[in-house]
Structure 1
C-alpha cells in the first residue's frame, strides 16, 4: 500500500504544468516533474521498459503486425490483462458484483464501487476498460477507478463487456450501452444521481465510451452528463483533414530515447492496423468506430488525455481540436514523457495518480 515515488513529484507535476494552444485546443501540458529534457521519456518509465525495448529490437518487423490467429490473441490477452498498478487506496471501498441483461439476453458482469464515505445522491462514474476490443478487463483499471472513488466519494461502476473476435462488432459496443441504460434506470437504488452520469474509458474503451455518448445523443435521452476519454481510439479509419495527418514528425523525441520511442510507435501502428479483422467488420469508416468523422456539435463536456509519445496522440489532439471548434467544452491533458496506458499504473508513476486526480476534478466540476 505504498507509492513507488515520492508525493513531492505529484506537487512538481502541478507546479510545472502549463496551458498551450495546439491547433485551437487549449491543452494542459504536464511536464516531467524532474527533467527539462525535450522529448525525453520519464526516467521511471524508461527504466521499466528497457527490457521490453531490448526484446523488441531483436524482433523482425513482420512480428510487429497484428496476428489475429487464436494463438496470437491468447498471448496478447495475457499481456493486455496484466495488472500493473500498485494499490495505494486507503479508504474502504466496497465492491459489489452485479449482472445486466444484454439485448440478446446475455448477462453482462458489472462491478459497483462504493467508498465508506460516499456522497448522498452521488455523481456516477461508469468506466469501460480498454484492450484493443479483444483484451483487458476491469481488473486492469480497478485501482484507477478505486482511486477516483477515494478522492471524490462518488459512485463508480465498471463493465466486463464481451470481447472480439469471438463476439464481433457491435456486440461489445451494445453491451456497454445496455449497461449505461441500466445505470440510468437504477441510479437511485444504487445511491447515485441519474442526472450526473459520466462515462469514461481508456484506449479501445474510449471508443466504447464515445459510442455510448453518441447513442445517447442520437436518442436524445440526456443520460450522459460528461465523458472522459483516456488515449482513445477515435479515428480508426485514419481520415485526414486540417487537424489530422499522422507522421513521426509530430513527435518530439530525445536522441537518447528516439530508437525506443520509434519502436513503440511502430508496434502500436502494427496492432491498430488489425482492428477491423479483430472486430469482424470492414465498415470502420462508420461514425461509431471512427467518431472523428461525426459532427461533434452538441456533445457533452469532454475530458481527453494522452501521452506525448503515444501512437494515438496525433488523433487524440486532433479530436480535441475538432471538439473545441464545434463548441464542446473540452478539457485536454497531455503528459510529457509518456506513451500509452498510464491509467494502468496507479501507484507506479506519479503521472498516473495525477491523471486520476484530474479525472475526479473534471467530474466534480461538471456535476454541480
Structure 2
C-alpha cells in the first residue's frame, strides 16, 4: 500500500460530528450532522427506530450507523424527531390509545422537513445526491416522508429502509418466516402488539386516514429507487417484504436484501457480524450509482 493510499484511508475515517437545532414545523428540531473527512459523495437524512415511542441519536442504530456511513463518504443528517407518548400496556392489542401528546403526523413531518433543510443547507452535497432513510419505526417515517416529498415535487436520490414498519396491520407471514418467529422465545412482534403500537402512533383505532402514515398499500408510483433491508428472524420482515413487492408492482426500482442470521434491530447490535454486513450494503447503495436504477415516471 502506498503512502498516498494510507493517508486517504485515514482521512476518510475522520468524521466531524456537530449538533444543530432547526426551526422545525413543530418547534425546535435537533439534528446531528456527520461530515466525512473527505469530500462527501452522497448525503443521507436518517431516522432511528424505537416503536415511534423510544430511541435517540446516541443509540447505535443512530450514532454508530451514521459514523460508519460517514467514514465511507456519506454525509449523514440524523434526526431527533419527536417521540409519541408511549401506551400503557404493550402486552396486548387492547392497550389504551390516547389522542393527546405527540402523534402522527408530527414525527413524519419533522423527518421530511429535515430532508428539505439538508438539501438546501450547503453541507457539501449537491441537492440531487440526497437520500432519505430510517430503521424500523424510523423506516416508516422515512417511507412516509418519501411519499410526501414525491407529492411536493422534491427530488429524492433514493430511499433506504431497514426492517421498516410499512403497514398499519402486519401482513401475513410466509411459512418459512412463521417457523422462525415461532422459534424465538416470546415470539417477535405479534400482530396485536404491532397494531397497538401503530394505533398509538395514530392516536386512535380508526386506521390511517393519510397515505403518509403507513405507506404500505398506498399509491407508490414515481418513488425514488428504494433499498429494503430486512432482518432474518423478525416478525416485521413480512412488512418489509410486502412493501418491496408493492414498490416493484408500482414500477419502482427496488432492492430487497434479507440479512441472514439476524433478529429485528440488528443495526443496534454492533458485535453481530450481520450489523457490519448491513452497514457495508447500505454504504454501497448510497455511494455506488450503478446499484441505484432511476426514478421512473408514474405509470398512467
Fold match, TM over 0.5? yes
Structure 2 CA distance, aligned partners of 1:226 and 1:280?
30
- What displacement does 1:282 show? 3.3
Residues 60-103 of structure 1 deviation map (CA, whole Å, 9 limit, x = unaligned): xxxxxxxxxxxxxxxxxxxxxxxxxxxxxx92211111011122
Matches within 5 A, 1:1-368: 91-104=13-26, 106-119=27-40, 122-140=41-59, 141-151=62-72, 153-165=73-85, 166-186=101-121, 188=122, 190-222=123-155, 224-238=156-170, 245-247=171-173, 249-251=175-177, 253=179, 260-261=183-184, 263-265=186-188, 267-275=189-197, 276-285=199-208, 286-346=210-270, 348-366=271-289
- Equivalent pair of 2:51/2:136 in contact (CA under 8 Å): yes
- What displacement does 1:316 show? 1.1
- What displacement does 1:271 show? 3.2
Structure 2 CA distance, aligned partners of 1:185 and 1:100?
13
- Equivalent pair of 1:237/1:284 in contact (CA under 8 Å): no
Higher relative contact order (CA closer than 8 Å, sequence separation 6+):
1
- Aligned to 2:157, the other structure's residue is in SS state strand
- Equivalent pair of 2:165/2:236 in contact (CA under 8 Å): yes
TM-score, structure 1 as length reference: 0.66
Residues 152-192 of structure 1 deviation map (CA, whole Å, 9 limit, x = unaligned): x1211101011112312211111111111111221x2x112
- Equivalent pair of 2:145/2:212 in contact (CA under 8 Å): no
- Equivalent pair of 2:163/2:265 in contact (CA under 8 Å): yes
Distance 1:259 1:283, change over 3 A: closer
- Aligned to 1:261, the other structure's residue is in SS state coil
- Equivalent pair of 1:284/1:290 in contact (CA under 8 Å): no
- Equivalent pair of 1:101/1:178 in contact (CA under 8 Å): no
Structure 1 CA distance, aligned partners of 2:211 and 2:169?
10
- Aligned to 1:192, the other structure's residue is in SS state coil
Instruction: Work out which of the two has the higher radius of gyration on C-alpha atoms and give 1 or 2.
Output: 1
Provide structure 2 residue ranges, at least 5 long, that are not aligned to the other structure: 1-11, 86-100, 293-300
Cα RMSD between the aligned structures? 2.3
Distance 1:163 1:218, change over 3 A: same
Between the two proteins, the alignment pairs up a number of residues equal to 262
- Equivalent pair of 1:225/1:366 in contact (CA under 8 Å): no
Structure 1 CA distance, aligned partners of 2:223 and 2:201?
28
Distance 1:113 1:332, change over 3 A: same
Distance 1:184 1:259, change over 3 A: closer
